[in-house]
Amino acid sequence: MALRETEHLLALESRAVSRIRVREIKAPTLSEMNSLWASLKGGVVSTPFQTPEFLAAFQESRQKTEASGFSVGVFAEPAESEHPLMLLPLVRFQRGPIRVVGMPDFGLADQNAPVIGAGCRLSGDCRAEMIRAFLERIGDADVVDIHKLHDRVHTLENPLSFLPETISQNSSLVLDLHGANATGNWCGKSIYKKTRSKFRRLVSEGVTLVEAVTPEERVGLFRTLAAQRRERFRQLGRIDSLEREDRSAFYLRLAAMEASPTPIKTLALKQGEETVAAMVLMMTGTQATAVLVSIGDQKWHAFSPGMVLFSKAIERAYEAGVRWFSFGTGQQEYKQRFGGEEHPYRRLLMPLSTRGRLFVGARQAHRAAQSVLQIALRRNGMDT
């Protein structure tokens, strides 16, 4: 039977801190995670996807899937036990013959990073060394595989993105709402003027903007969003990922939580009991990410309710003090119209065993062969 908690005392080369104590707590409850997060030195710096509520919903909805073990690494200086410097949520799972350790994601998280104590003054390099030393001690996995590593969490560097085994992966569009380097006068762009006009037309039709605030309201709105999205994907002949039982179970569990505050925010444009459009956001601190959106009956499409709802969600986030509004995965043209800037993100692929090194080597060879093939095709006028 796996131990509930393991502990390591790791030597570091950093001048700032030469040794670090790491406890790994297996399957912590929501209550235990709330206590851990509250104990962080100086407060919490986190994305919405590494909050206790998100992780608890992930753990509960994944019990019967490929995820075999959820844990949290707790990093502290040896003499300090009450106020850790950093937390690292992890999940172990099997990918064919390969044992993988990553972060709780499986397509549900749009950004991955450790949870950092706001009072931790160590550099990103030092925090990266702490994480690397811990990961190298993991003996029940062949490879570390963590996706969507943006370079910052709030104003702090994301230490995972500093590890040398990271590779370029993709990018997302992010709108800076409050910073000194904010993307121009974002609210003065033509798209916002257009959506304000569209919203006035919707209001004249009896449509109002509402936010679901109780668990029952959030669950009801999510079910409506899922039904609208399912019908839209059916019309397009596409597969809707929300039809996966584990994915819908995650959102239902998160929406149903009594926790306050909660990272899930649900907005809708409604005419009486009819939902014109709906959106799910993940929001905490200075970050907000739009993760799901749906549009109702065809009769409303001329009012561009999806664009109106994006505009209203951005305004709500701005009023709440959010600095970065992310449009989630994808580079669709409509997202670019809101003024977002491209933020690259990386993937950590770090072997931990001989089998892991063979896996990473084979993957790199496959990618190199694909690149050579694409170059050859372009040279012959056959670019695909």
Q: Is the pLDDT of residue 268 over 80?
A: yes
User: 29 φ, ψ to 5°?
Assistant: -80, 170
Out of 132-136, 203-207, 358-362, pick the least confident. 358-362
pLDDT digits (tens, 9 = 90+) for 171-188: 899 999 986 555 556 777
**Among the residues of the chain, which ranges form H helices?**
30-38, 52-61, 124-136, 190-204, 215-236, 245-256, 305-319, 333-336, 354-379
Q: What is the pLDDT of residue 62?
A: 77
Cβ distance 365 to 180 under 8 Å? Answer: no
Mean pLDDT computed over 195-200: 96
Distances (CA, A) of 246 to 1, 52, 64, 291: 26, 19, 9, 16
pTM for the whole thing?
A: 0.91
pLDDT digits (tens, 9 = 90+) for 239-266: 998 988 889 999 999 999 987 789 999 9
Paired with 83 in beta bridges are none
